[in-house]
Amino acid sequence: MKRLYQKIYLTIIASLVVVVITAGLMWRFGPGFRQDNTVFEITRELVSLALPPATAMKEQQAQGARELAKRLKIDLALYDENRTLIVSTDPDLPGPEKKIGRLNHKRGKLVWIFQLGDKRWIVAKAPQFREHSALGMIGFLGAIALIIALCAYPVVRGLTRRLERLQVGVETLGTGDLGTRVEVQGKDEIAQLAKSFNAAAAQIEDLFDTHRQLLANASHELRTPLARIRLGLELMKTDATSDRQANLERDIQELDQMIDEILLVSRLEAVHTLKTEDEIDLLALVAEECARYDACWLHGEPSFVRGDPRLLRRLIRNLLDNASRHGKPPVEIEVMPEGDTIVLSITDHGEGIPKSEWQNVFKPFYRLSKSQNKTGSGLGLALVAQIAERHGGGAAIVQKEGSQSSIRVTLPSISSVSG
């Protein structure tokens, strides 16, 4: 199978050959080689007016023919109606026995033979008139085609060489070298393809690193509830009290929740677009979740967003769980429109989050260094940030009055999405 650059190059060469042959055939058999009787009629009349009449003396006719040849700077021969030579300025001129028209003579010079209205014959040879043959035309165009072919080769080869580098990059990436990148040259489609490959490779590398870190953290975090469950099962064999059974059930529930959150984090990292975009009243959704908690104060205005109701419900629930687990009641929630966004703020009356930890709390499996409550998987706020980002918004920590800190989630409103 031929290489791509060979196919492109051979296609160019074949096209040039077809153009050369077609041009040669048109040059040889085209309208330019057809007899034009009008030209001969005009030329015959003009020459008849320029020469002395046929009734004039031979010497006068010869003198007139010489003067005409001198003025026109051509070689000319004049014959009477019986094809007897009157005068000739070039002894190599053929006689009028040839057919009327034009013919090739010595050294490629063109000779015209025609008869005047008074029956005399004219043979004329003009040095500047040259008959170009079809082979000459093909040779001329062939030389042009050869030059084009020589110039086209480095262009075609350079084009396919970049494709070959891209192929090597794809194969290297397929072997597991996720740091593979290809050089971007030019601004054409191949350069855009190289940029897309580099972007995809970077995304795959980031996704792989994130999953590797997630797997390492998950394996560490899962050991704690599994150890407690294992210990509880051993104790249940000798003393199956209701407290131990409740603790065992709580550990199983924590393990189940952790697995669910790990899978959700992994799925959100792999998918950057939502499959479901329903119209949701965020205030009503928050009210439903607040009903599950004590000392939860909600105020705001009906605010509509587009998104996945299941993911938004998880976002709200994680915020409430985080506030109830690490903060102090009461928990205040506010849902208010702000320009083209909907702002959801949640504040508890605990010590708040230190400013140095504001960026870290949204990382998976991260826990505050001074937190006394070590429960939870460390995935709650990470899921909040990811769900908000998938809905076109974001999550951040803002400073409230005093030393309190508040978690602020912004989501695009229906009007901004539709606009």
- Total-model pTM: 0.47
How is domain 35-131 classified at the architecture level of CATH?
A: 2-Layer Sandwich (3.30)
What pLDDT is attached to residue 295? 82
What pLDDT is attached to residue 130? 47
190 burial (CB, 10 Å; 0-12 / 13-18 / 19+) is: middle
User: Which spans in 239-336 are helix H?
Assistant: 242-270, 282-290, 309-326
Beta carbons of 412 and 340 less than 8 angstroms apart: yes
Using 50 as the pLDDT threshold, list the residues of the chain that sit under it: 1, 32-35, 129-131, 372-374, 417-419
Q: Which fold has domain 278-418?
A: Heat Shock Protein 90 (3.30.565)
What pLDDT is attached to residue 282? 92
Please give the Cα distance from 380 to 265 (Å, whole number): 10
pLDDT in tens, 169-199: 888 888 878 888 888 877 777 788 888 888 8
- Find the angle CA(274)-CA(280)-CA(282) to the nearest 5 degrees: 110
User: Backbone phi, then psi, for 236, in 5-degree steps?
Assistant: -65, -25
Beta-strand relationship, 331-338 and 296-300: parallel
What pLDDT is attached to residue 33? 45
What pLDDT is attached to residue 402? 59
Q: Which fold has domain 178-270?
A: Helix Hairpins (1.10.287)
Please give the Cα distance from 111 to 102 (Å, whole number): 6
Residue 276, sorted as left (phi over 0), alpha (psi -120 to 50) or beta, turns out to be beta
Query: Domains of the chain: which residue ranges?
Result: 35-131, 178-270, 278-418
What pLDDT is attached to residue 1? 43
Beta carbons of 216 and 231 less than 8 angstroms apart: no
CA distances from 221 to 81, 234, 294, 317, 413 (A): 121, 21, 29, 21, 37
